[in-house]
Amino acid sequence: MSVKTNARTPKSKTKANLNGTIGVLEANPWHQAMLQLDRAANRMGLEQYIVERLRHPKRILTVSVPVKMDDGSVKVFEGYRVQHNLDRGPAKGGIRYHPQVSMDEVKALAFWMTMKCAVVNLPYGGAKGGVICNPKEMSIGEIERLTRRYTAEISIIIGPDKDIPAPDVNTNEQIMGWVMDTYSMTIGYSAPGVVTGKPLEVGGSLGRREATGRGVFYVTRELSGLHGFDLRNSPVAIQGFGNVGMNAAKIFAQHGCKVVAISDVTGGIYNDHGIDVNALIEWRAKHDSIAKYPKAERIDVDQLIEVPCDILIPAAMENTIHHGNANRVKAKYIIEGANGPTTSEADKILSRRGVIVVPDILANAGGVTVSYFEWVQDIQALFWDEKTVNAKLQDIIVKSFRDIFEIHQRDKVDMRLAAFMLGLKRLAAAVKIRGLFP
């Protein structure tokens, strides 16, 4: 049996060459996250010891994940689990499988989860996990063995009362089912509350699959009411056609909105008359790509940011809107379906141009909100119908949006700063109440 190691290029170097327009610091998600923290903390006059607490994740676990591949060889992957903050409750955050996963990315995502849970007032802290791998080049069996070994390695810090993972980039309901089963076998009894986003048959929640996209729609609808524009007459462009982007596209279309551009990793498409989202989903299921969809013009992935539209929804990866392309954005409103899609440098450019950005820690919080509902249902062993789930989701997202919008107007700050101010206020209160042990 031969043994392989998982060599990789550091993410900062890969991203530094993106179109030749984005530097190492701008590409580094942890650096961007800390810029956001410092900006809000300075505006609020937040005590320095609280800022220092938030600049250092509570717990970082790095694991090696040896996996027997289909050809009989063993490949060793590297995985992470970061628990950023536990002051408001157990940690919550997804697991992603991607070749460009890095420690700084996982730390930033865990920080943003801390902020997100505080913004929508969930009793959670933030966490995130990831494995450096390319699941598109792996078989189902290899992905299952990777998942089970990674789960076994991080089982020392996860649990229904400690840290509850969920799906993220390139992970799904089946993978969460394997996480739940592996953890349950480890402790000797079924523990559905250890993970969310899992299949309904093992304790999943109705409405979870669509929750992030639905939350994106709810905040956009609220924004349209407060800014006085007609959502049905406002062309929408969506970058990314995974779980978030696809479900957002479906929900916007169901409400009579015109989706004019969509992209995925294979390419992008544009049709100023609107794209039939359901037909596109059927096309992709047969062709495993949207790039050659015949009823739209083909565009490059990078072009989607720049297409004529009123509403732009980045729902792919971080750093897709940066100082090199922010001036070319034609949208009036950006609703961040992904985590960290807009760099701080781009934020400044967009603000000067009058573009309204609804930040990720609010815009995509529908997923963690319904994950919270799933966890509550698992603990109670009492499950809700989808109408109840969606109604509760709408209540939380709408209230959070209005709280942030009030700060935005009262303090004359952009929406991202307003969201951070709200989240940090709640986090600071928890830190002060709990004090320092020992």
In this predicted model, what pLDDT tens digit does every residue of 29-53 receive, in sequence order?
A: 999 999 999 999 999 999 999 999 9
Q: What is the pLDDT of residue 46?
A: 96
Q: What is the pLDDT of residue 203?
A: 97
What lies within 8 Å, CB to CB, of 287 at 6+ separation is none
pLDDT over threshold 60, residue 7: no
CA distances to 124, 396, 425 from 121, in Å: 8, 8, 11
pLDDT over threshold 70, residue 19: no
Residue matched to tokens 């062993």: 381
CA distances to 125, 193, 384 from 377, in Å: 19, 9, 8
- What's the whole-number average pLDDT of the chain? 92
Residue matched to tokens 């949006």: 401
| 236-239/163-167 β-pairing | unpaired
pLDDT over threshold 60, residue 3: no
The angle subtended at Cα 218 by Cα 115 and Cα 398, nearest 5°, is 60
Beta strands in 280-320 (DSSP E): 297-299, 311-314
In angstroms, rounded to a whole number, what is the distance separating the alpha carbons of residues 349 and 254? Answer: 33
pLDDT (mean) for 422-434: 97
pLDDT (mean) for 287-305: 87
Q: Name the active-site residue from 107, 116, 128, 250.
A: 128
pLDDT (mean) for 374-400: 97
**CA atoms 280, 283, 287, 291: torsion sign:** negative
Q: What is the pLDDT of residue 317?
A: 84
pLDDT (mean) for 229-237: 93
Q: Virtual CA dihedral for 142, 148, 150, 152, nearest 10 degrees? A: -150
Strand partners, 311: 236, 333
Structural Rg of the chain based on CA atoms: 21
CA distances to 118, 235, 270, 307, 329 from 273, in Å: 40, 9, 9, 13, 20
Entry pTM: 0.91
Domains of the chain: 3-201 (3.40.50.10860), 211-363 (3.40.50.720)
292 is catalytic: no
Nearest to 104 by CA among 11, 192, 173: 11
pLDDT (mean) for 144-153: 98
- Token pair belonging to 382: 């009492």
Q: 311: helix, coil or strand?
A: strand
pLDDT over threshold 60, residue 235: yes
Residue matched to tokens 């689990």: 81
Q: What is the pLDDT of residue 318?
A: 80
Q: What is the pLDDT of residue 21?
A: 65
Burial status of residue 343 (CB atoms within 10 A of its CB: 0-12, 13-18, 19 or more): buried
- Token pair belonging to 120: 């929508």
pLDDT over threshold 60, residue 4: no
**Among residues of the chain, what percentage have pLDDT more than 90?**
85
In angstroms, rounded to a whole number, what is the distance separating the alpha carbons of residues 29 and 16? Answer: 12
pLDDT over threshold 70, residue 392: yes
pLDDT over threshold 90, residue 5: no
pLDDT (mean) for 384-391: 97
Q: Confidence band (pLDDT; 50, 70, 90) for 2?
A: very low
pLDDT (mean) for 373-379: 97
In this predicted model, what pLDDT tens digit does every residue of 58-82 receive, in sequence order?
A: 999 999 999 999 999 999 999 999 9
**CA atoms 117, 316, 373, 356: torsion sign:** positive
